[in-house]
Amino acid sequence: MNRSFRSPCLVLLALVLTVSIQACAAKGPSVELKGQTYSIEIADNDASREHGLMDRTEMAADHGMLFVFQDDTPRAFWMKNTKIPLDMLFFDADRRLVSVQHNVPPCTADPCPAYSSGAPARYVLELNGGQASKLGLAPGDEMQIHR
């Protein structure tokens, strides 16, 4: 191979590898539902679960928050200090959809109403209101988690 040709090729290869590594590192955790991928924040301890999406005035359409628990039990969530409508998707330990609370409005009363899973759940995924209907989600649909 000609030396004058090899040097630009090596530089290009190094650049492609660097960009690929950065893209993988920046990707972060996500979930997949019916072929649609959502970047997520993970709430897996008491403090992060308690704060959730409070005080957010907007959230990107391809973003959400995944609440992770250590056990399966009926869950109830509320919208205190949450300023955007959300879909609450409740999943069991096998990541199968148990139930959905659709387009839950921000809380304007005190106390705020609670929205229940109606069955044991280990994961709760909050997405922008309307996403569950847009995807046509139904009980039994599987969520894939990518960390």
Find all residues with CB under 8 Å of 79, minimum gap 6, and list them.
Answer: 86, 104, 105, 106, 107, 112, 115
79 touches 129 (CB < 8 A) = no
10 touches 4 (CB < 8 A): no
Using the 8-state DSSP alphabet, how is residue 79 labeled? -
Please provide the distance, in angstroms rounded to a whole number, between the alpha carbons at the two ends of the chain.
42
Non-local CB neighbours of 17 within 8 Å, separated by 6+ positions: none
Cα 92 → chain centroid: 15
Domains of the chain: 28-146 (2.60.120.1140)
Query: How many CA atoms lie less than 13 Å away from 69 in the CB half-sphere?
Result: 20
Rg (Cα) of the chain, in Å, rounded?
A: 20
Per-residue pLDDT of the chain (147 residues; tens, 9 = 90+): 555 545 554 444 343 334 343 444 447 999 999 999 999 999 999 999 999 999 899 999 999 999 999 999 999 999 999 999 999 999 999 999 999 999 999 998 889 999 999 999 999 999 999 999 999 999 999 999 999
Q: Torsions phi, psi of 53, nearest 5?
A: -100, 25
**Tokens standing for residue 136:** 């046509």
Q: How far apart are CA 113 and CA 123, in angstroms?
A: 20
* Predicted TM-score (pTM) of this structure: 0.81
Angstrom CA distances, 99 to 57, 96, 133, stand at: 25, 9, 12
Q: Which helix (H) or strand (E) holds 5?
A: helix 3-27
